[in-house]
Amino acid sequence: MRRSSYAAGLQKSTVNKTSSIKLLPTIVSKSCSTFLDEFSLIEFDDRAAAEFARLRKKVRIGSMDLKIASITLVHDALLLSANLRDFEKVPGLRVEDWLKE
């Protein structure tokens, strides 16, 4: 179930409880925050910018996707995305779609 669907389901189940409705954003926010605490953010730094400039001459995909690919490449990471059509155009990029059955 998608997060938005989950949040909507929670909201529907608490419609008659006004105090629960007020707490819903706090509960969802804390749950998301706890989940995201397990991950670290990787910034678009100078190395990624240099990789972006190099790739932009060779690969024709959207700028934001190319920035994501650049960050992934300089950190030798695996990119998880449902957008295989674009990311597979980037040489050397390891990308997988874990949503496919």
pLDDT beyond 60 at 64? yes
Three-state DSSP string of 39-67? CCCCCCCHHHHHHHHHHHCCCCCCHHHHH
Please give the mean pLDDT across all residues of the chain. Answer: 81
Domain residue ranges of the chain, discontinuous segments joined by +: 3-36, 46-96
Nearest of 56, 55, 57, 65 to residue 95 by alpha carbon: 65
Residue 59, pLDDT > 60, answer yes
Cα 51 to the center of its chain, rounded Å: 20
* pLDDT number for residue 26: 65
Query: Residue 101: is its pLDDT beyond 70?
Result: no
Look up the pTM and report it. 0.66
Q: Which CATH number fits domain 46-96: 3.30.420.40, 3.20.20.70, 3.40.50.1010, 3.30.750.24?
A: 3.40.50.1010
Count of H-run helices and E-run strands, the chain: 5, 2
Q: Which amino acid is at 38?
A: E
Q: Is the pLDDT of residue 28 over 50?
A: yes
- pLDDT average, residue stretch 23-31: 66
